Chain A
Amino acid sequence: MAHASHALDRDMMLPPAEAETGSGVYTEKLGMWIFLLSEVMFFTALIGSYLILRVSKPDGWAAPNQILNVPVTAVNTFILICSSVTMVKAYAAAADGNQAKLKLWLVATVLIGATFVGVQVFEYNQLIHHGLVPGGFVAGRELAEAAASGAAFKGGPALPTSGGLYGSTFYTMTGFHGFHVTMGVICMIFVTFKAFQGKYTATDHRGVEVIGLYWHFVDLVWIILFTIVYLI
């Protein structure tokens, strides 16, 4: 934890803020933490609704791997976790005043984040092709036929007769997470531009730390979503 306490020391020195702060945490960072509380409640609404719907209608969901491609998403999850690592690297570089590394790791974070969104778009595309849309199974496509036949499907039990709740919850939760990653990438591009202008110094790199908080939060939400949407 030596690194963590080191970071804490830096926080205490940071930044030459405009006024004395009441909390000891500089204003932008405090603001982001408070904003993230709001985000927690937003995802709670979505995830809580999913859990309630799922518990009260357990036969409305397919088994893992039947419809969703878990290996591909597992790789994608690993990719997103990597972007959190590059984010930490970028922050450490900023704190050390290493401009070259800061730019490198920020660009890497942008690219990896964009890759995650790209894989998710590919996944949606595949699912729609097989016949899963937010409203459920599309009549005439592969999944609807399989569900109608009532036969065992892809090594699991028969598919639920209606995919309505499955499609609704899957697309809403992963979609809003994807939206958050996309917003994060856009903000990260903005931060990267500022890094290329040399705006972040060893003594003041608030922007890098604040976007990092958001980035790790979105990453954490994905780990929860991956577990409850793909693995159970």
Chain B
Amino acid sequence: MTSLATPVESHVQAHPDNRSFIQKYIFSTDHKIIGIQFLLMSLLFLTVGGMLAMIIRWQLGYPNKPLPGGTVLPETMAPGGVILPEFYTSAVTMHGTIMVFFAIMPLLVGVFGNFLIPLKIGAPDMAFPRINMASFWVAVPAGILMIAGFFVEGGHASAGWTSYAPLSADPEYTGVTAGQRIWCVSLIVLGLSSILGSMNYITTVINMRAPGMTWFRLPLSIWALFITSILVLLAIPILSGAVIMLLFDDVLGTHFFLPAQGGQPLLWQHLFWFFGHPEVYILILPAMGFVSDILSNGARKPIFGYHSMVYALIAIGFLGWIVWGHHMFQSGMNPTLGTSFMISTMLIAVPSAIKVFNWLGTLWGGKIRFHVPMMHALAFVSMFVIGGLSGVFMASTPVDIYIHDTYFIVAHLHYVLFGGSLFAIFGAVTFWYPKMFGRMMNPTLGKIHFVLTFVFYNLVFFPMHQLGLQGHMRRIYDPTIYDFLKPLGGLNRFITISAFLLFASQLLFAYNFIVSWFRGKKAPANPWEDTGLEWTTPSPPPHGNWPATPHVHQPPYEFNSPHVKESDFLPQTQSLDAIPGRSSAGAAH
């Protein structure tokens, strides 16, 4: 071993905790509490987004029939429980907006970026704890605004989550004035929160790693969060700029995206997708990182091809910037340009495949422990393969011209976002729950939840490929008014029933999450027998995380290490010199 771990005197990190309740749990600067705050907020939004999905599914499966329980909705949304077209379009818009910006993105980056980065790199807290607190408390008003939009006159924004101009830029077109403005302001405010957060994560990873925690000893979850934070830092300001121009078109009467005086609707699409495609990787890279950690732990083997995993993350992060045009093949762009976007998009299949093969290589010959996080991680890998392959179909311009704006796209994006990101999130929440709350989630309930979710999820989204290939358009209110979609009514109803069962299955997770918080089995410091730094401190960790700065001696995934006898894993903090009967000569890493 080279002398990477230059010992410096340990700084005392944990202080006696004499903060008041408000300092400790509300306006907390502790990264662990902020992570949990983000977790509760984004799970709430995940529920709201799921309910909106149920509204959409009901209307598609049973058009113009009263929604069960729909009479609680106000007259302006669903008189007598029958969903109005205006409300349907804003439900579609807000399902996308809420799931992307207020559920998946904060769940992956806000929750685990905060909770894991300091704990996994051996830092007492984030680089800027007060800015970290601000990033959460800026996100809260953005969330409240986004919900408030449902209750203003004219309803919520209804130009789709992509808010294509000029539909979104002029209230004349949708009849929505206040809702669209609220959408814009909320996203600008949320963008500030994301920028503050990512600046914090990047600085922390660069500057606050414990002695011995070299770049190539970082767990892949941290690598993934680091690359993701760079994408957030550089992509979100593009969205903010675009949304500001959109808002100005509406409020100040500017002409950026309105063609009457020379503005360009296509400019909005370019700006939105220049942000939007890095955003796609923001929504999947952290999931890949968590899954790498969990798979290695479950397979009891070092991750296969650690370095290639890191380079693949970097490659995906970079390629993500030059593929945005594949969202716009149907916008009338020059076919030559379309072809170059097609090629760059297909290139992303290479690093993605490297990751998939490395995950398979990790599982190969492993003594797999089928704990709940591991099940979700395995589901992630298999579902990501399906979502990734349908992505290659869409990247091909001739195919995309046929399936553009159909349910095939909806199937693809849900295979990546639900089958990919959300399964990884369920896995990660279950995996780090004991570290967050000091208690274990119930494994039996967790397994039942996993099986039901996996089955119903596939029953919902796989048939959507078929819907799309038969020409079922996205975002339509009533499929029964088109003759060629009439034979698909049965399939639509099947999907709707499965979707309601899928939603109901999530109640198990909610029950398990809430009840385990108070009644769960007390968690030991290292319940999964993992190698990471976070497992060397009590569950939950004290303020300041460790009594003294930990020193790192090992790579991140030393499972089944020949160097240890009593257990099958070598924690990152374990120096080989400290193992009795071992000389440092054996440390050939």
Binding site for B on A (CB under 8 A): 18-23, 25-28, 30-31, 34-35, 37-39, 41-46, 49, 52-53, 56-57, 60, 133-136, 162, 164-165, 167-169, 171-172, 176
Q: 26 pairs across A/B with beta carbons < 8 Å?
A: A18-B11, A23-B207, A27-B207, A30-B127, A38-B198, A38-B234, A38-B236, A41-B237, A44-B238, A45-B237, A45-B242, A49-B241, A49-B245, A53-B262, A53-B267, A164-B254, A164-B255, A165-B256, A165-B262, A165-B263, A167-B254, A168-B245, A168-B248, A168-B255, A172-B248, A172-B256
A22–B206 touching, CB < 8 Å: yes
Q: Quick one: given A34-B203, A46-B241, are A135 and B252 in contact (CB under 8 Å)?
A: yes
B255's partner among A22, A25, A31, A135 (CB-CB below 8 A) is A135
Task: Specify which chain B residues have a CB less than 8 angstroms from the CB of A49 in the assembled complex.
Answer: 241-242, 245, 256, 267, 271
Task: Determine how close the nearest CB of chain A comes to the CB of B426; give it in whole angstroms.
Answer: 31
Task: Specify which chain B residues have a CB less than 8 angstroms from the CB of A52 in the assembled complex.
Answer: 264, 267
Task: Specify which chain B residues have a CB less than 8 angstroms from the CB of A22 in the assembled complex.
Answer: 206-209
Task: Specify which chain A residues have a CB less than 8 angstroms from the CB of B203 in the assembled complex.
Answer: 27, 30-31, 34
A34's partner among B123, B202, B240 (CB-CB below 8 A) is B202
Q: Quick one: given A45-B241, A49-B271, are A168 and B263 in contact (CB under 8 Å)?
A: yes
Task: Specify which chain A residues have a CB less than 8 angstroms from the CB of B123 in the assembled complex.
Answer: 19
Task: Specify which chain B residues have a CB less than 8 angstroms from the CB of A134 in the assembled complex.
Answer: 248, 252-254
Task: Determine how close the nearest CB of chain B comes to the CB of A199; give it in whole angstroms.
Answer: 17
Task: Specify which chain B residues have a CB less than 8 angstroms from the CB of A25 in the assembled complex.
Answer: 207
B241–A34 touching, CB < 8 Å: no
B208–A38 touching, CB < 8 Å: no
Task: Specify which chain B residues have a CB less than 8 angstroms from the CB of A31 in the assembled complex.
Answer: 127-128, 131, 199-200, 203
Q: Is B430 an interface residue (CB 8 A)?
A: no
How far does the alpha carbon of A39 sit from the alpha carbon of B260 in the complex, in Å? 31
How far does the alpha carbon of A133 sit from the alpha carbon of B238 in the complex, in Å? 24
**Which residues of B from 230 to 259 have beta carbons under 8 Å from A?**
233-238, 240-242, 244-245, 248-249, 252-256
Interface string of B549-562 (1 = CB under 8 A from A): 10000000000000
B240's partner among A42, A171, A172 (CB-CB below 8 A) is A42
How far does the alpha carbon of A34 sit from the alpha carbon of B248 in the complex, in Å? 28
Q: Quick one: given A21-B207, A23-B207, A44-B238, are A164 and B233 in contact (CB under 8 Å)?
A: no
Q: Is B211 an interface residue (CB 8 A)?
A: yes
Task: Specify which chain A residues have a CB less than 8 angstroms from the CB of B202 in the assembled complex.
Answer: 34
How far does the alpha carbon of A52 sit from the alpha carbon of B206 in the complex, in Å? 36
Chain B residue with minimal CB distance to A30?
Answer: B203
Chain A residue with minimal CB distance to B255?
Answer: A164
Q: Is B588 an interface residue (CB 8 A)?
A: no
B241's partner among A42, A60, A136, A171 (CB-CB below 8 A) is A42
How far does the alpha carbon of A171 sit from the alpha carbon of B255 in the complex, in Å? 12
A27–B238 touching, CB < 8 Å: no
Chain A residue with minimal CB distance to B125?
Answer: A18
Task: Determine how close the nearest CB of chain A comes to the CB of B518; give it in whole angstroms.
Answer: 36
Beyond A34-B199, A37-B233, A41-B233, 9 additional pairs, beta carbon < 8 A:
A20-B211, A21-B207, A22-B207, A27-B207, A30-B127, A30-B203, A38-B198, A43-B241, A168-B248
How far does the alpha carbon of A39 sit from the alpha carbon of B240 in the complex, in Å? 11
Sorted from nearest, which 9 A-B pairs have the closest CB atoms?
A45-B241, A164-B261, A135-B253, A168-B254, A42-B237, A164-B255, A41-B237, A57-B262, A21-B207
B208–A27 touching, CB < 8 Å: yes
Q: Quick one: given A37-B233, A53-B262, A60-B262, are A172 and B245 in contact (CB under 8 Å)?
A: yes
Task: Specify which chain B residues have a CB less than 8 angstroms from the CB of A60 in the assembled complex.
Answer: 261-262
How far does the alpha carbon of A145 sit from the alpha carbon of B238 in the complex, in Å? 37
Task: Determine how close the nearest CB of chain A comes to the CB of B30; give it in whole angstroms.
Answer: 16
B253–A39 touching, CB < 8 Å: no
Of B203, B235, B238, most A-chain CB atoms within 10 Å: B203
Chain A residue with minimal CB distance to B208?
Answer: A19
How far does the alpha carbon of A38 sit from the alpha carbon of B200 in the complex, in Å? 12
Chain B residue with minimal CB distance to A36?
Answer: B199
How far does the alpha carbon of A169 sit from the alpha carbon of B263 in the complex, in Å? 11
Task: Determine how close the nearest CB of chain A comes to the CB of B132; give it in whole angstroms.
Answer: 11
Q: Is B578 an interface residue (CB 8 A)?
A: no
Task: Specify which chain A residues have a CB less than 8 angstroms from the CB of B248 in the assembled complex.
Answer: 134, 168, 172
Task: Determine how close the nearest CB of chain A comes to the CB of B260; give it in whole angstroms.
Answer: 8
Q: Is B467 an interface residue (CB 8 A)?
A: no
Task: Specify which chain B residues have a CB less than 8 angstroms from the CB of A167 in the assembled complex.
Answer: 254
Q: Is B473 an interface residue (CB 8 A)?
A: no
